[in-house]
Amino acid sequence: MVSVNEQAPVLAKVEIEIDADPRTVWDILTDIEAWPSWNPDVKEVILHGKLEPGTHFQWKAGPGKISSVLQNIEPPHRIAWTGKTMGINAIDVFKIEDVEGKTRVVEEESWEGLLSRAMHGKFQKMLEESLNSGLEHLKIEAERVHNQE
């Protein structure tokens, strides 16, 4: 099972509570090619295969294109992938759990590489802002879908 690198120069952990069931959150999060439809931070996504470990996907978020590989898929509780962009090696892990009829999503991400060490402060802030923004957009979409059911 893939986990973030706790020793990485850039490491962030954020969480959010969503007023929707875990399956709804899971379905939105794992429909990878639909990310741009609900997350304005993601510009495009191409998934090369099924939602399973080893499947590659390319996506554009922020200043660069990211090449990622799905690592762990445990519906509806955990999805993790590794990614590379601009000399950064990333590990991104989402954990989804039911908490009294709502859903808690915990996202952890680590960045390694020369750039991550050299620009630690700037990248740390950028990663934290990115994760918080992504979870806020996930919350809005999941609650929208949940309220339509």
Cβ-contact 100, 91 below 8 angstroms: no
CA distances to 9, 37, 107, 116 from 86, in Å = 15, 25, 22, 10
DSSP per position, 52-103? STT-EEEEEETTEEEEEEEEEEETTTEEEEEEEETTEEEEEEEEEEEETTEE
pLDDT at 32: 98
Tell me what percent of the residues of the chain surpass a pLDDT of 70: 100
Looking at domain 10-30+74-148, its CATH superfamily turns out to be: START domain (3.30.530.20)
pLDDT at 149: 79
pLDDT digit string, tens, across residues 45-89: 999 999 999 999 999 987 789 999 999 999 999 999 999 998 899
pLDDT at 115: 87
pLDDT at 62: 77
For 18, the token pair is 């969503």
Cβ-contact 28, 21 below 8 angstroms: no
DSSP per position, 12-45? EEEEEEESS-HHHHHHHHH-GGGHHHH-TTEEEE
What is d(CA 67, CA 98) in angstroms, rounded to the nearest whole number? 31
Count Cα atoms within 13 angstroms, Cβ side, for 137.
17
pLDDT digit string, tens, across residues 18-29: 999 999 999 999
The pTM for the full model equals 0.95
**Mean predicted lDDT score pLDDT of the chain:** 96
Domain ranges of the chain: 10-30+74-148
pLDDT at 20: 97
Mean pLDDT, range 37-45, rounded to an integer = 96
